[in-house]
């Protein structure tokens, strides 16, 4: 399960920073792939913070909140 929504837009002189929050419920392996894909995206994406909590079922599943920034020119 993945839910993504914008949090804020910060206006700078020559660019804009968009903050995006992603709430994820998935196996830890899938979360790892998601984080890797964000950090290695050709777009200007950066992970600002990650909050991870273990879930009791199903096994190896986590609930995470990820704050992502995107720079737009």
Of the pLDDT bands very low, low, confident and very high (cuts 50, 70, 90), residue 58 is: confident
**Cα(16)–Cα(34) distance, integer angstroms:** 24
45-54 and 61-72 beta bridge pairing: antiparallel
pTM for this entry: 0.88
State pLDDT tens for residues 1-57.
999 999 999 999 999 999 999 999 999 999 999 999 999 999 999 999 999 999 877
């Amino acid at each position: 399960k993945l839910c993504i929504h914008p949090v804020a837009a910060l206006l700078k002189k020559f660019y804009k920073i968009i903050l995006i929050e992603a709430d994820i419920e998935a196996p830890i392996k899938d979360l790892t792939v998601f984080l890797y894909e964000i950090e290695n995206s050709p777009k200007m994406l950066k992970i600002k913070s990650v909050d991870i909590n273990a879930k009791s079922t199903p096994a190896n599943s986590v609930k995470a909140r990820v704050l992502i920034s995107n720079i737009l020119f």
